[in-house]
A and B are shown apart, each in its own frame.
Chain A
Amino acid sequence: MQIVLNGQSKEIAEALTLEGLLKSLELETAHVAVELNKEIVTKTTFSSTSLKTGDEVEVVHFVGGG
């Protein structure tokens, strides 16, 4: 199925969770902020949030330094 990830179409497995998506992108859960269909998703629900066709996901990945 298709979702929109950071503005670009992406093919993912059916019912993939946000946690699974981040894993496939090799991103550390603690270092990202995620928006699903314009709403911020809290980390505690990444594993229970399954993606649906057409979902718009924004993943903002942070690196250290300040």
Chain B
Amino acid sequence: MIIFLNEKPIAIDDKLTLFQLRDRFKPTADILVRNGFPASNDVVVEEADHITLIRRGEKPPAEELEALMIARHTPGVHKKLKASCVGIAGVGGLGSAIAVALGRIGVGRLILVDYDVVEPSNLNRQQFFIDQIGEPKTEAMKANLKRINPFVEVESHQVFVTPENIPDLFDQADVLAEAFDGADQKAMLIEEFLSRFPKIPLVAASGIAGYAPSNTITTRHATKNLYLVGDGKTAARPGEGLMAPRVGIAAHHQANAIIRLLLGEKPE
């Protein structure tokens, strides 16, 4: 029968067990992942199983890296995400965390758009580093994603998003994440994008400042192809800043809504 060992199809005898497979192909492996989940007990390997054999702490050769990295991606899910493209409008508190989450889970292509550079006051919540201060956010995130998952294709544009450039920037996206800071920019993007691309889902955020209870952040279906994350009312203002935990919760609501849409499931 055929199974996938480190994502390569191989023929093995029926009734072979996981531990026998390890002993035959990589006796030093101490992490055995079967169909996206680490196995602790020996089991009989079944037809079409995805098995990955990893030695803890060992840096794999480049040609094996992707197979080992995707071992924890649920088979079937990863294939769809790998073939997908997500646009991220704004690479700040929301957008940087969305990019990292989607990069880690292996979305095939990300389009990052932001006009700004990394500055010290971003580091309270945004996924950048001190040595990146002054770099364009799009380039800094491209570099970070390369260190996290080099198998994601990242397209970056350091431009200010306007009604005129929205079609060119995002026409390849299967889903768009709205991750701007300003309320007027958020409204502009939704209006322009949904009127030009009514069939492409858009996941936006509003009401994410402060440290109000986590469960006040929700994902809701606002209209046809618009999904809204946040509490809908907590604006960033003097005395109520943007903070890593709550912005992160909202960003991950968005990222999860996006992958649900890519997998054909309802986000809310």
Contacts and interface: CB of A to CB of B under 8 A. Distances in A.
B62 interface: no
Interface in A14-34: 28, 30-34
A60 to B, nearest CB: 5
Chain A interface residue number, banded:
10 to 19
Nearest to A58: B223
Chain B interface residue number, banded:
35 or more
Contacts of A43: 191
Given A30-B184, A43-B191, A60 B223 contact: yes
Interface string B95-124: 100000000000000000000000000000
Interface string B175-186: 000011111101
Contacts of A61: 206, 232
B195 interface: yes
A65 B224 contact: no
B147 interface: no
Nearest to A38: B224
Given A62-B183, A62-B186, 20 more contacts: A30-B183, A33-B190, A35-B223, A35-B224, A38-B224, A43-B191, A60-B206, A60-B223, A61-B206, A62-B206, A63-B233, A63-B235, A63-B236, A64-B181, A64-B186, A64-B235, A65-B234, A65-B242, A66-B205, A66-B208
Nearest 5 pairs between A and B by C-beta?
A65-B236, A63-B235, A33-B190, A66-B181, A62-B186
